[in-house]
Structure 1
């Protein structure tokens, strides 16, 4: 019995507990999307147990129960995650510590520790996302946590309006310091890197392609790339954003067997088809642009042909593509230079290994396509002539559609000689197969084509529905040449985009066809521009941008000028604070009810009936009733509300007093 009494004496009051639980829920809520379900259940169970302790129905758990809870939780993490040293397990471990703290939440010290952990967990939100909604929600989390800290000071401070008001004032006072530190604090890179959990689903273009894959991507309007050009903008027919090259075909699916082992090119060098390298020209026609790529959980990047990037972590491959050092798990910005193909010197032949790689076909299957290709070769046609004949066939007999019919075993034969309806992957796949069957090295290229030009911010917006597949063939005198069979069937797809080429089928499966409403499209575009500005101004505020801003503000970045830039605002703020403290210390701070009644007295004085020194509120009200009978009922109600608020600490009376004073203006009432 003595033990139970001692425990009850150390328990936190109800208001403190509720504020702690509210702060925990607000912080954990966005993490519920990627935390395991059992951890969410563990938090609910810990909160329930702790509240039962407060009600006196249970005791605080002993050492054995705590040890069992920790052991089960750690075992759950070990079974849930394949590897520990990754981002999600680290956040889950922090959330787990945060959760288990509830079963020993007994004193004010435990409460403060739990809320300090909440600040750290709130900061982990920005490890996953740095968007505007997350930033707004992060600020909301900080407001609630700070209010919960204020609520630990006593019952009066735990009132929601008072706690949230104090939190908002404290954080508002910290905003200037935050902005100042954001501008001047050194922008250091991470001291260590924690990889993302590899089990997280990837988005966008995958490492293989089969009929129907790209038509599925056409149902999504999510942004993929935002591209700002430094100089000329390529025409629509040149906006081919290369990402992957597929060389292996198993009869249905195109893939790249060595997708995980990239053949790197060298800096400032262009790979040749025979394995040699060609120097990239230092001058001449080229496109310079900055790409902001949305997270895809894949390492491949997207750029125009013959790309070169000096962004840290970005490498070029022998397949004329770019890859990042790790899967792209957050927005990534990289700068690229691309040269037109005709400006690059090329090898005149493929080496034997590359020749076999780009002529590979299954041993059997699609006999009609093989026969057609062999017939063209026996006729003595060159590679360009065979290509032109095949493209003419597409142009004459085929239909471009987002709803192609399903294909069976011999996908190429069924498409070329039966269905004749398809999306870009059908045309690219059948074209490359047929050209290989004719003895012409060919490959499938996957990426995005086109994009919407946002004139207000001057960037090109590429969405998921811009996903595209095309082909490249090797010509000895020209090297790799892009051939887009889709352009032979639907040139408006390349010139004007998918929405124009397939207007009747575009986004037909969407629950809400918002693209049909012009004002909704404008709103979406405005929101994307806001996100673009946010990323450019805040998320990408790196060391280089910081130095440029400081040079514009200070003229020269030196320790003395930075010290003055920091010191002068801080000194001014301290002087203002001292002046305010000096003024506020001259007299006692009146309670809210007394301040409200003082306003009432000032208004009556302006009406010609001031309060006498030492006159009690009731006597003053009686005198007003005698001398100004029209004001008597209102004055009596104000006086009664004031006496209840001042002497009985009645919060409802204080609210009533403020409400009455809002409509009490003696000079107006006496007219």
Structure 2
């Protein structure tokens, strides 16, 4: 049976509910709505129990609540071995605990569970705002724990102050453990549900898809180079290859998508590398896409764990990119490849595939070009020349009908990158030249202060590749024939009047806001480089810089010496008077009065009560009797009656005391008594 003195008072309940709300708030947008309502209902029920209007639920009601919660989780999530259902299960347990929140033991258990819920914030995001909110959640939960001591500790100022001091004292230990504890695989490597919408480039392309991406200025890639940086015209970050066309929609086709079992080289030795060294070495930090494909320049090779290479010169990851992911890449220019693989029959048929019907004018023109020119390079030059003379680059192309290629080539002649790339590949295939559409990003903004390339969503781009027997696969960008400034200077230069015109706050038009946005991105970049991507390799490099050589003896000294220094400082603080700082203000003021009385020759005896001390002062120093009586009365009202006005009066009395005058009046009496 729970003792009455262990029941939760009102202040403790309020602190528990505040801590629960703080740690659950960031999850409100991703948890099912019924979990949020369930938590609010459990809180309301517990409040009604405190008011005496309801009883704690019985065993049957608890069993029913647990059954309904489990049924809701089963219906809300398609699979269980994923992060979202596990976090939701933790949130449900957290909410149901309120139905049996009776004693301080239950309160401590609920608040310890709150720390785990707060830690799940970083399962989904590891950005600076989430880190700051995580610190806030830790402060509130720790304050709620300290408030469970009851009475004076439950006051907001007292509880928050104690929480901040505890967390500040633990910060050095946290930093030390962050540097030396072996780095394990991150929790967020566990698969997540893929039902949420992904951002960025899709696994298919229809007219208008890349136009939609041009309206977003969200970061997509951050790329730091170890050595030379490619010219703007060479910054093509390929991610997807579209080989199948159904008359309107381009897609990867069978045998290309790794999600469908397409072959991927995970063993690096299977891909022979050229003897010529790589031209570019770089590290890519990719924003979450919820997809497996990664972005890199042509002919990429990566030694990052879990990253593989496909036959069509792409990088893929073994699991989808649910959070920011960093990987190292080396890229060779295709011109440096001595051996060029032959194009097999299956690959030739794949890259010549076209629907049986549709777009008759484009097919007829392509056949005429094939008869007029002897090779694919000449046919390509003729098509690009046609684009250059007659077409317009725009972010607002008109809608196209069923025969989209015919309408674009011989009708509107206005389009975005996907229009040019898709129609070009159609023409080359119709002329008998193997071709494919490549999707990714092109360009990027160079950040001088941190020396990295920032690629945004509006840098999304589509281009083409054609196969020739003499050169193999080679890149051809039809957009460059229409708008070369798009490739050289970026989308903002190529479509200045249309660029981000639908944005609520067009930051690119305000230089100050644009600089602030860039500064914020640099801070995020440094945060990820220093904290989020601090893996075992980074840890080893840091320890080598600090210790010279990482050995058990040096590592033990690195741990024990700061611990010993911290312990000595703590003991010194306690000895110097740290305990006295924890006394109430009224008691500290009265001790100051006692010290002043000792200075004039009337010290307080051990165990002497305040009133007895005042009477002895009146006997030994009559001129101080009135002051001692007033101080004693104010102290008793402040300390025992909890009177704030008496505490303020006690402070005023001590400030008004003229110590010099007191000594002048008392000193003659002391000399007379000694005589």
Equivalent residue, structure 2, for 1:482: 475
Deviation at 1:378, TM superposition (A): 1.9
Distance 1:393 1:639 in 2: 101
Tell me: CA distance 1:654–1:314, structure 2 relative to 1, closer, same or farther (3 Å). Answer: farther
Kindly state the Cα deviation for residue 513 of structure 1 after the two structures are TM-superposed: 1.6
Deviation for aligned residue 1:661 = 9.8
Question: In the TM superposition, what is the alpha-carbon distance from 1:346 to its structure 2 partner?
Answer: 4.2
Q: Find out whether 1:579 has 2:579 as its counterpart.
A: no
- Going from structure 1 to structure 2, the CA distance change for 1:390 and 1:175 (only over 3 Å counts) comes to same
**CA offset at residue 436 of structure 1?**
0.7
Q: How does 1:58-77 map to 2 (within 5 A)?
A: 58-77=54-73
Deviation at 1:641, TM superposition (A): 7.2
Partner of 2:348: 355
Q: Find the counterpart in structure 2 of residue 234 from structure 1.
A: 230
Q: Once the 2 structures are TM-superposed, how far is the Cα of residue 320 of structure 1 from its aligned partner?
A: 0.6
The aligned counterpart of 1:88 is 84
Shift of 1:267: 4.7
Deviation for aligned residue 1:280 = 1.8
Instruction: Pick the aligned partner of 2:135 from 114, 139, 146.
Output: 139
Residue 8 of structure 1 deviates from its aligned partner by 7.6
Question: 1:407 matched to which residue of 2?
Answer: 400
CA contact (8 A) 2:594 2:603 kept: no
Following the alignment from structure 1 to structure 2, what is the Cα–Cα distance between the partners of residues 33 and 588? 44
Whole-angstrom CA distance in 2 between matches of 1:402 and 1:651 = 69
Is residue 452 from structure 1 mapped to residue 448 from structure 2 by the alignment?
no
Contact 2:617 2:624 in 1 (8 A): no
Write the deviation string for residues 435-465 of structure 1: whole angstroms up to 9, x where unpaired.
Answer: 1111111000000000011111111000000
1:549 aligns with 2:545: no
Contact 2:123/2:187 (<8 A) preserved? no
Show the counterpart of 1:633.
Answer: none
Residue 63 and residue 492 in structure 1: after superposition, are their counterparts in 2 closer, same or farther (change >3 A)? same
Aligned-pair distance for 1:656? 8.3
How far 1:363 sits from its partner (Å)?
0.7
Q: 1:390 to 1:624 in 2, by over 3 A?
A: farther
After superposition, residues 240-259 of structure 1 pair within 5 angstroms as 240-258=236-254, 259=257
Equivalent in 531, 536, 542 of residue 538 of structure 1: 531
Structure 1 segment 206-225 matched on structure 2, within 5 A: 206-225=202-221
One of 497, 519, 524 as aligned partner of 2:517: 524
* Matched position secondary structure for 1:40: helix
Match of 2:455 among 443, 458, 462: 462
Helix, strand or coil for the counterpart of 1:33? coil
Q: Distance in 2 between matches of 1:576 and 1:640?
A: 39
> Which shows bigger deviation, 66-75 or 645-654?
645-654
Would you say the 8 A contact 2:595–2:603 is kept in 1? no
In 2 relative to 1, CA 180–473 (structure 1 residues): closer, same or farther, beyond 3 Å? Answer: same
The 8 Å contact of residues 226 and 291 in structure 1, kept in 2 or not, is answered as: yes
Alignment of 1:87-486 (within 5 A): 87-189=83-185, 194-258=190-254, 259=257, 260=259, 261-265=261-265, 267=267, 279-347=272-340, 349-486=342-479
RMSD of aligned residue pairs (Cα, Å):
3.1
TM-superposed deviation, 1:194: 2.5
Q: Return the alpha-carbon distance in structure 2 between the equivalents of residues 538 and 588 of structure 1.
A: 36
Scaled by the length of structure 2, the TM-score of the pair is 0.89
Contact 1:601–1:610 under 8 Å retained in 2: no
1:594 CA drift (Å): 3.4
Q: 1:580 to 1:503 in 2, by over 3 A?
A: same
Shift, 1:212, TM fit: 0.3
Question: Cα deviations across residues 518-553 of structure 1 (Å, max 9, x unaligned)?
Answer: 111111111111111111111111111111111111
CA contact (8 A) 1:346 1:479 kept: no
Match of 1:37 in 2: 33
> Equivalent residue for 2:672?
none
* Contact 1:617-1:639 within 8 A present in 2 as well: no
Q: Is the 2:373–2:379 contact (alpha carbons within 8 Å) kept by the matching residues of 1? A: no
The question of whether the paired residues in 2 share the 8 Å contact of 1:210 and 1:254 is answered with yes
How many Å apart are 1:642 and its aligned residue?
5.9
Q: In structure 2, what is the Cα distance between the partners aligned to 1:360 and 1:98?
A: 56
Distance 1:162 1:307 in 2: 58
Sort the Cα spacing of 1:653 and 1:395 in 2 relative to 1 into closer, same or farther, 3 A. farther
Match of 1:630 in 2: none
SS at match of 2:498: coil
Instruction: Tell me the distance in 2 between the aligned counterparts of 1:215 and 1:76.
Output: 39
Length-normalised TM-score, structure 1: 0.90
Q: 1:612 to 1:312 in 2, by over 3 A?
A: closer
Cα distance 1:335–1:661, how it changes in 2: closer, same or farther (>3 A)? farther
Deviation, 1:28, is 0.4
Q: Determine if the alignment matches structure 1 residue 78 to structure 2 residue 74.
A: yes
Counterpart-to-counterpart distance in 1, 2:58 and 2:23 = 28
1:262 Cα offset (Å)? 2.6
Number of positions where the alignment pairs a residue of Structure 1 with one of Structure 2: 644
SS at match of 1:470: strand
- Which consecutive unaligned segments of at least 5 residues does structure 2 have? 605-612, 660-675
**Counterparts in 2 of 1:269 and 1:482: CA distance versus 1, 3 Å:** farther
Structure 1 residues 392, 602: closer, same or farther in 2, change over 3 A? farther
- Find the aligned partners of 2:206 and 2:62 in 1 and give their Cα distance: 53
Unaligned runs of 5+ in 1: 271-276, 628-635
Q: Determine if contact 1:602/1:610 at 8 Å carries over to the other structure.
A: no
